[in-house]
Amino acid sequence: MYSKLLIAFFMSSIGIRCDNSNITSPEGQYLFDFTKDDNVYDWQEQSDTVRSVGMSKAVFVLHQNTQFRRAIFFALLNPQLNGAGFAGIRALGYHDLTQYTKLQVQCRGQGQFNGFKIVLRHKGLNNEPNYSFEQYFQAPKDEFAVKSLPFSEFKAYYRGKRVNNNETLDLSQITSIGIQMYGGVYQPVKQKGPATLEVDWIRAV
């Protein structure tokens, strides 16, 4: 317990929000529940805007009426000719997920392309030149469904390229959770143009 408090203090000292509002239920730990209280204002954009040939854009907004409430990830991908480019968002915080085996996202994708990835970072190593741990998935279309992403399948990447490393994802110190629409420079399918991902919640189970 003492070590966790030290970690939380360290995270807050370098500007990472220590999230003590996680909701634990018999279904798992809800990291973000946009159908209830969680909002999108703490999420930051991370898109490929450095190169003039890869100027992509991403936004994350709440969508609410009298019958539902959810978040929508809007992405416009303008990749390079080889498919390099990404449009994404992330939330910084502190999560100890050691008692869980996978991440679940209740979502629905719309658009010509439906390929996304979840990007995790640990130990406060939230920016380059540190690598990230990623898992690709195809979003369900038409109807909402739960995508299950085992933590054991999150692999190390650097700028979209698989990294051969000996370090595994430290589930006791997850400090960044992100969503990206990827271009596909190292993937068999190249993506471009607009896409959306509607998200009800993200939880660990």
Per-residue pLDDT for 22 more than 90?
Answer: no
- For domain 29-204, give the CATH number: 2.60.120.260
Condensed to tens digits (0 to 9), the pLDDT of residues 57-81 reads: 999 999 999 899 999 999 999 988 8
Count the Cβ atoms, other than its own, within 10 Å of residue 26. 5
Q: Contact, 157 vs 180, CB < 8 A?
A: no
Residues 65 and 72: beta-carbon distance below 8 Å: no
Confidence at 137, pLDDT banded by 50, 70, 90: very high
